[in-house]
């Protein structure tokens, strides 16, 4: 799926072309399916501010690709 920022979104961690040796990439297929079921994919434009120091968390950010 393409976004307004012309980024490709990976709907499934199992089928992700960026899978490498990172923590989330090493989860079992069952765990990756569970992760896919609860995650939210949000594309951000270049130089977007994701959070501020000491801001209360609203979740976990997993950065899979950046330019």
CA 62 to chain centre: 5
Least confident segment among 4-8, 12-16, 58-62: 4-8
**Secondary structure (3-state) at 2:** strand
pLDDT of residue 51: 86
pLDDT of residue 34: 92
Half-sphere exposure of 42 (CA within 13 A, CB side): 10
Share of the chain above pLDDT 90, in %: 12
8 Å CB contact between 35 and 24: yes
Could you report the per-residue pLDDT of 16-45, keeping only the tens digit for each?
A: 877 777 777 888 999 999 988 988 888 777
**Secondary structure (3-state) at 8:** strand
């Amino acid at each position: 799926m393409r976004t307004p920022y012309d980024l490709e979104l990976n709907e499934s961690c199992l089928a992700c072309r960026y899978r490498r040796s990172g923590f989330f990439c090493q989860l079992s297929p069952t765990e990756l399916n569970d992760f896919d079921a609860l995650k939210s994919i949000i594309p951000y434009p270049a130089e977007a501010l994701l959070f501020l120091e000491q801001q209360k968390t609203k979740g976990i950010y997993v950065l899979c690709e950046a330019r």
